[in-house]
Structure 1
Amino acid sequence: MTKVILDSNMIIMLGKGIITISMFEDLLEQKFNLITTSSVIDELKKISEQNKNRIININIKFGLNIIKNKVEIIETKNVTDADDSIFYTSLDLKNKGEVVFVATNDRELRSRLRIAKIPTIYYRDSKSKLELEWKELD
């Protein structure tokens, strides 16, 4: 089954209500499993602990709550950087024959994924919707 890996920002955007899980369903038009990495969860918890901005903390908590029962968390304790954990997890899944997308707005991560021929899903502010980037993957 298709896998969609969520990065920290996408989870925060879910918490803010900017994006919804149904937006992924509309975009992909197929069954998929949402996943993230333990490094992403750790990063969100660290941001929440260190950040004095109550709104950001509430959005993180809402995001983590939304994904609690809907997202599989892949253990990546050996890779502490959240972006690296997403990159290597997506490569690993792709190499095992899985269909994998990474949902991120991080330009650097998207660039790395493009080189690895892994399609990305990102949020386009100007259109207020999720978009798929995979043209370069043909």
Structure 2
Amino acid sequence: MSTQGRTRVALDTSALMMPVELDVRLFDELERLLGGARRTPEEASGDQPRTEGYEAITPQAVLEELRRLSEKGGREGTAANVGRDLATERCLVVDTEASYADDALVELAREGNVDYVVTNDRPLRDRVLEANVPVIALRGRNKLAITQP
């Protein structure tokens, strides 16, 4: 659920790879959809003054999946490297009980710890919607849209 009026948005592996794989300006699109600016991890942790906007979070399991994918090389490896950099620089990384990335995101959704999940993974999207949490996904060439449960 949102914390103190700020929207919490969980990003999965496919979302963090969108900038390279699909030429999506991920954080610009999230700002367009959700309004306001993204909160930095420092603002989220209380190390800097709080601002309005959304808080981008990602489970540790997603970082692990991105690390494994980055070792493959090629375009997918490059996209995973960029995604991992985005996650560590622009997201609050959280621990979950689940070690598998999709399960970690569903856990966050079911426990009410996020307001939205960003993914292009259809099976994950369906699981998140079943948990009654809206999903943000690619619609069209490079725009994101919200699907309500």
TM-score, structure 1 as length reference: 0.82
Q: Could you list the per-position Cα deviations for residues 10-53 of structure 1 after superposition, in whole angstroms to 9, with x for gaps in the alignment? A: 1111344423201100011241000000011101111222x2x4
Aligned twin of 1:90 = 109
Compared with structure 1, are the counterparts of its residues 106 and 29 closer, same or farther at alpha carbon in structure 2 (3 Å cutoff)?
same
Percent same amino acid at aligned positions? 28
* 5+ residue gaps, structure 2: 1-5, 37-52
Report how many residues are paired: 127
Alpha-carbon RMSD = 1.7
Give the deviation of 1:105 after TM superposition: 1.2
1:12 to 3, 17, 24: 17
Richer in helix (by share): 1
Compared with structure 1, are the counterparts of its residues 57 and 79 closer, same or farther at alpha carbon in structure 2 (3 Å cutoff)?
same
1:88 partner SS: helix
* 5+ residue gaps, structure 1: none
Compared with structure 1, are the counterparts of its residues 80 and 11 closer, same or farther at alpha carbon in structure 2 (3 Å cutoff)?
same
Aligned twin of 1:64 = 84
CA contact (8 A) 1:15 1:61 kept: no
Compared with structure 1, are the counterparts of its residues 83 and 89 closer, same or farther at alpha carbon in structure 2 (3 Å cutoff)?
same
In the alignment, is residue 47 of structure 1 matched against residue 72 of structure 2? no
Amino acid at match of 2:144: L
1:29 to 35, 56, 60: 35
2:70 partner SS: helix
Compared with structure 1, are the counterparts of its residues 99 and 67 closer, same or farther at alpha carbon in structure 2 (3 Å cutoff)?
closer
In the alignment, is residue 102 of structure 1 matched against residue 117 of structure 2? yes
CA contact (8 A) 1:35 1:72 kept: yes
